[in-house]
Structures are given as structure tokens and as C-alpha cells.
Amino acid sequence: MKKYNKILITATAFLGLFVVSCESYLEPEPENRITLEDAIDYPVFAEGWLLKAYNGMPTNYNFSIDVASDDAGTNDLSSNINIMNRGGWTSAQNPLTIWSKAYEMNLYLNTFLEHADKVVWFPSDVTKNEVFKKRIIAEAYGLRAYWNFQLLKNHAGIGADGRYLGFPIVDRVIKPDEVNKLPRNTFKECVDFIVADCDKAIADLPSRWETAGSDPIMGSRNLNRISGLAARNLKSSVALLAASPSYSASGSLTWQDAADYAADVIIANGGVNLLASDVTYYENYQSKEIFWSSTRITNKSTWEKDNFPPSLFGNGRTNPSQNFVDSFGMADGKPIAGNPSFNPNNPYSQRDPRLAKYVIYNNLTFGTQAIKTHEGSGIDGIGSVATSTVSGYYLKKFLNPNAKLNPAGVITGADHFYTYSRFTEALLNFAEAANEVGGPDYNVKGFTARGIINAIRTRSGINTTYTATLTSKDAMRTLIRNERRIELSFEGFRFWDLRRWGLIDVMKEDLKGIRISTDQTTYTIFSVNPRSYQDFQIYGPIPLGETQKYDLIQNKGW
């Protein structure tokens, strides 16, 4: 009987996807299906399995994960994230779950890996065929590592049985009678599995896709595919998670491992070569800061429509918090707390230059227009209309002020792309891990935490005088975590960072905003909304539906 590959047509997104049943493929008629033999005989069909996993990658910043952290709120009061923040995060209602999608993507990848070696990719050139085969299989391993890391971040935790557990590892297309028998693997087993996939990807992928664009194997035509540097960076992030306080007792990777892996990224990238323009790397699709991104889409205005202030015809959805704004120090490099340069009645003067790049605050010029958020200032003020800010701030990072949304005129967008992996993440991974091992000046393969943080802050226009005063591991840890918060803001990191660090108190802090008087002489910090999280919510849940199917261990508290 011919096998019909339903994977190329459609898939139901749950763990049961990993079923291959000949009988289930008998309807409809074979003429409407691509057979397994077809896929193996025609490389373009076989590559379709891999491309499905690429197509599942995110391409749009909706910033919901940032609204779930202490970095932002939203004026969309009925959003699932707002409900989650108010105590509505359950195993049955989890707006952040990645379970079904990750397993769906793994289905495509495992199918590809089972058959890729049988495909003749270049019939007329044996050498090119073998090189290409290695490369494309390496991509599949890299993508599988990516999707399994999403499962680890979202669903790993301490199980009801007291063990550190990850997710059910599925490294092949499984049979129907195996579906409801897969136990959760230990956290360590999952980490080891992901790292092994990263190593397979690193072995046969180019660091960057920089060869001439006409080269189908290593050329820049593959720019939006996972690269060797992206795989290395992913490996360092897995190690960082495993070494962090919330997971360190699992007995998997250590801070030294995380520092080593991140140092390998720096070395493979040619050292610490930072450009001032990369503070806003998202404005340059060809920035060397970027290891891996989505395809650039031109004339897109979705992000602007969602987040521009209402005076610019946007919905003002994502509102940076006062908590986040307070993380920006002064231009002299010192924090605002106890700093005589900081004036609470003129709070945006002489601040870290990145504040004006990432956040729209009162009277900041955005494009050609000054945005006014103080009381009596019009529709951009707090609560003036449904699309006004709830915190006193609007998002600036990722938004292009040249986009035009006026419905009475010609609506124009801007270039947009989503970044999956970039160099600064690796640098911050290194700084955190190296400092935890041996303090600010502990040397790992020629680099130190202090040196890396100095390079990042120098790129931002901040001198290194303050960092020179930090001599303890604890003091440097505070600075590194703060730098990570600022540099990776609105890129989906803060929510997971708080949890891997075990910062329960921060998770529960009220989200704060600022109310500025009509005469702009009084600045009052207020609570935008409380955050209702429980201690056990350091770890996310296994979806309720999965635990109801069979005896799959849930995380404690859920």
C-alpha cells in the first residue's frame, strides 16, 4: 500500500500529531495527496517538511509576553494577558503555551530527519549533494533545538513528584499506541537532548550566510535560515537557563558551562566588535548584530497601528511601565537611586541615552511631533480615550516614526523583520554566567563580565566609570541583570528571566505608571494595576488537556 504523507497538507496541533497511520490516509482520493515516495523523489517536496517548521516561526512582535512582565502594561483591558496578570493564569487557560505548536513543528522536523538521507538533492553532482545534505539536515537539528527550547522554557518545572522535569522527548515519528504513554523526561535529559541537537547543527552550518548569493548551499540566499552562530547562541541560552537558580538543582549544566558556551559564540563571531548603530539594530536588516531573523517585509504598518499614540492614529497598545523606566540610569552610568544628578521633577533629563530610543515619554519628539502625555494634553494623555496610555508612556522600540497612518491621507508602512537570535544576547549570557562563576573579572577564554558590560555600555554612549567601582559578584549581578533588562527589552526575555532567577517578589509587584500634572511640575507615580502571581508560577503548567489524556505529571501547584 502506498503511504500518503498528510504532513504536507495539514496537521492537528497536539501531541497525538506524532502518529503515522496508513489507514488514516486513505481518504480522500490519492490524487489529492503527495505520497511519501513523491516527497523522497522530489527534493522540493522533501524540503517542504523543513520549511513548515520555518513557517511556524514567529514573525510579528505583539509584545504580549512583555506585558506579562513588569516592563509594560496594555490599554487592551480585556486581553488574555491582562486576565493572566490578574490571577487568571491556569493550566486550562494559558495564553503563553507553546505545547501544541512545538510538537507540531517537531513532527515536520522528525519526518524530515527520518527521510532526508534518502533524498538525492543534486543528482548531477555527488559532492554538492553530500555537502547540501549535511547542511540541510543540520538546519533541521537546529530548528528542533529551537522548538524544544521553547517547550523547556514554557513547561519545565518541579513536578508533583518533586523531580525537575522537562517535556516528553520525541525524536522520531511515533506509532499510535505510543501516544498516550510518553512520560515527561527529566529536565537534565531535555537539556542534554537540546544541546546535542545544537552541536549537530553547529558542526555543519556556516557561522553566517555570507557566501555569494548564487551558492545554493552556503549563499546569502539562505539568510533567513538558522545559522551556526544562532545555534551556538541557542546552546548558550539553554545552558544559562539550566544554571539559573530556578533550575540549578536539576543537576544539568553549570554556570561554567554557560560561560564557556557563550564565550564560544563571541569567538566564533570574531570577538567583541560593537557598533553604536546596533543599539537600534532593528532599523538595519543587514546589521552584523543579527545572527538569524525572519524575512524583511516592506511597507508594513501593523506594529505602528498597534502601538503608535492615538494622536498618530495608533491604538497605543503597549505601554512601558514606570518600573521599566526606572531601570534606566543617568548618562554618567550611575543608577537614579541616590544620584544627585537625578531630578524627580525633571525625570527625563540627563538619562541613559537608550531611554529616548526605546520609550516615548512626555514631550519627546517622535518623528516630527512632540508627544504630550501630561494631564490636559489631549488624547495622548493617560486615560483620555480608549487608545491612550495607561502608564504615561508609549512604546518606541521597533516602531518607525516615518510610517503614516492618517486615514485621510496615504497610509504607508515601513520595513519590518523579527529577530530570533542576536549577538548582544550572547554577550549578556556570558557576562551573567562568568560573573556567577568567579565575579566581575573572572576570565573565560579571554573575556570577563566587566569587559563585556563595559563594551555594551560604551556602545550606548555611557562611560565605564561606574562599573569600575563594582568589585563584588552581587553588585555586578545587579548591573548585569539591569543591562539585560534594558538591552533585550520588548524582545520576550524579561518574563522568563524573572522566573529563572526565582524573583517571586518582583513578579508580584504592582505595575506602576506616572501621572504628570497639567502644568508639568508634579510627577506622581501610581499603581496601574496589581499583579497576582503565586510562588509556584515560577514554572509554567503542562496543558490541562494533556494531563487528562493519561498519567502525565503536572508541575507543582497547577
Q: Tell me whether strands 318-320 and 157-158 are parallel, antiparallel or unpaired.
A: unpaired
Domain that holds residue 474: 205-280+421-494
Would residue 552 count as lying in a domain? no
- Predicted confidence at residue 5, as pLDDT, reads 39
Would residue 464 count as lying in a domain? yes
Would residue 483 count as lying in a domain? yes
Give residue-wise pLDDT tens across range 323-378.
999 999 999 999 999 999 999 999 999 999 999 999 999 999 999 999 999 999 99
Would residue 243 count as lying in a domain? yes
Q: Considering its fold, how many domains does the chain have in total?
A: 1
Mean pLDDT computed over 528-540: 96
Burial of 98: CB neighbours in 10 Å, binned 0-12, 13-18, 19+:
buried
The secondary structure of 506-543 as a DSSP string is HHHSPEEEEEE-TTS--EEEEEEE-----GGGGSPPPP
Can you read off the three cell numbers belonging to residue 347?
A: 525625570
CA 169 to chain centre: 22
Would residue 482 count as lying in a domain? yes
The DSSP symbol for 121 reads S
Q: Please report, for the domain that includes residue 429, its CATH number.
A: 1.25.40.900
Would residue 529 count as lying in a domain? no
pLDDT-derived band at 45, boundaries 50, 70, 90: confident
Would residue 461 count as lying in a domain? yes
- Predicted confidence at residue 4, as pLDDT, reads 36
Question: What share of the chain has pLDDT > 90, as a percent?
Answer: 86
Would residue 313 count as lying in a domain? no
Give residue-wise pLDDT tens across range 118-163.
999 999 999 999 999 999 999 999 999 999 999 999 999 999 999 9
Mean pLDDT computed over 42-58: 91
Can you read off the three cell numbers belonging to residue 195?
A: 544541546
Q: What is the pTM of this model?
A: 0.93
